[in-house]
Amino acid sequence: MTMHTVSVDAMIEDLRALVEVESPSRDHDALAASAKTVAAVIESRLGGHAVLVESEAGPHVHWSGGGEPKVLILGHHDTVFPLGTLARRPFKVEDGHATGPGVFDMLGGLVQAIHGLAALDDRSGVEILVTADEEVGSRSSRALIEERALACGAVLVFEGAADGGGLKTGRKGCGTFQVFVAGRASHAGLEPAAGVNALIEAAHQVLDIAALGRPEIGTTVTPTVAAAGTLDNVVPAEATVVVDVRVETAEEKERIEAAFAALTPHLDEARITVEGGVGRPPMPESASAELFAVAQRLVPGIEGKAVGGGSDGNFTAALGVPTLDGLGAVGGGAHADHEYLVVDAMAERAHLVAGLVKALQNK
């Protein structure tokens, strides 16, 4: 099977097109425009028809090269940046870096995947799924991701590379919990004892929650946002605590979820309600071992790294489907103003895509 050389100039052209259509999560109109652009780039480079799959989160984009499904190229086109970011931080290429909202997470990865496939004459057995809600939990896309992953039997995820350009061979499970505390308001000066201070209860809960972490085995439990009170002379009747959780094993997921469910008040008459959970299961390194070995043969010396962040690869790995992540852009600054992509790495990453797909087609 012939493998053609990829054009970095053409990849930059397509990256510009994607970045210049802003796509913040939950903005349905923006995501609709973005999905059409993603579909147009796919059709332009690969032929065929890219289907827009409507959802409450926005359109997902699905393309198939036909034949028996063998590999799923997985990515997302939503970004974390609000509309207007592009005006402040326009797309540009300078000093070997491409910058602009979403270049690293993960529009650059999508472009590299598309051009890697375009380098192959035979694209049978390949599917591309680009979702609209990865940055906000993948609630509308998870079922479709899982369906296509099971049908294909192997998943290549185009999130940005690990530090130094390594692949992501494992990911922690991650989730968010919201702890709601209900107390009772009273006048802070005239009768403070008549109230039930939700802020004091929340302070107790924050310490209890933080103590659930076991960083020595990869479990982090981090209170991140808190809110309480209305006026400076009112005993607060309500408080909310938001907690970020990361775990490496299914057993820790179960322990943490049970611990949150068992939280009990310290103050008489205070009440606690908990929502949320570990929505993305852990991606064990065993899930990537087979595909990472293929990548090492294609790019000797390439490194693999387990990371704390989650992706849609967590879902596919949890199904037992071989999954390799971090195949996207080499760069850094995900979700930050200094986000960048290393231009010189684009061709090598695209050829890695082609090599992995070719190996899976021949399996």
* DSSP 8-state secondary structure symbol assigned to residue 125: T
Q: What are the pLDDT digits (tens) for 264-304? A: 999 999 999 999 999 999 999 999 999 999 999 999 999 99
Same-domain pairing of 239 and 346: no
Same-domain pairing of 224 and 183: yes
Same-domain pairing of 76 and 166: yes
Same-domain pairing of 31 and 133: yes
Same-domain pairing of 100 and 202: no
Phi, then psi, of 84 in degrees rounded to 5: 105, -15
Same-domain pairing of 266 and 300: no
Sign, CA torsion 199/200/201/207: positive
Alpha-carbon gap, residue 296 to 138, rounded angstroms: 30
- How many CB atoms lie under 10 A from the CB of residue 207? 10
Task: Say which CATH number the domain at 164 has.
Answer: 3.40.630.10
CB contact set of 156 (below 8 Å; sequence gap of 6+):
71, 72, 73, 74, 113, 291, 323, 324, 327, 353, 356, 357
Range of the domain at 110: 8-172+283-361
Same-domain pairing of 161 and 81: yes
Is residue 64 one of the residues assigned to a domain?
Answer: yes
Same-domain pairing of 291 and 193: no
Terminal CA-CA length for the chain: 14
Task: Say which CATH number the domain at 222 has.
Answer: 3.30.70.360
Same-domain pairing of 191 and 144: no
Output the six-digit token pair for 270.
């205070």
* Number of domains into which the chain is organized: 2
Q: What are the pLDDT digits (tens) for 161-215? A: 999 999 999 999 999 999 999 999 999 999 999 999 999 999 999 999 999 999 9
Domain end, chosen from 263, 280, 297, is at: 280
* Confidence at 135, pLDDT banded by 50, 70, 90: very high
- How many CB atoms lie under 10 A from the CB of residue 151? 13
Is residue 3 one of the residues assigned to a domain?
Answer: no
CB contact set of 116 (below 8 Å; sequence gap of 6+):
6, 349, 350, 351, 352, 353, 354, 357
Is residue 1 one of the residues assigned to a domain?
Answer: no
Alpha-carbon gap, residue 227 to 181, rounded angstroms: 10
pTM: 0.92
Same-domain pairing of 37 and 89: yes
**What's the pLDDT at 363?**
83
Same-domain pairing of 275 and 208: yes
Alpha-carbon gap, residue 114 to 42, rounded angstroms: 6
CB 26 within 8 Å of CB 57:
yes
Q: What are the pLDDT digits (tens) for 214-245? A: 999 999 999 999 999 999 999 999 999 999 99
DSSP string, 352-363: HHHHHHHHHHT-
Domain end, chosen from 280, 296, 330, is at: 280
Domain end, chosen from 213, 248, 280, is at: 280
Residues in the chain, total: 363
Is residue 317 one of the residues assigned to a domain?
Answer: yes
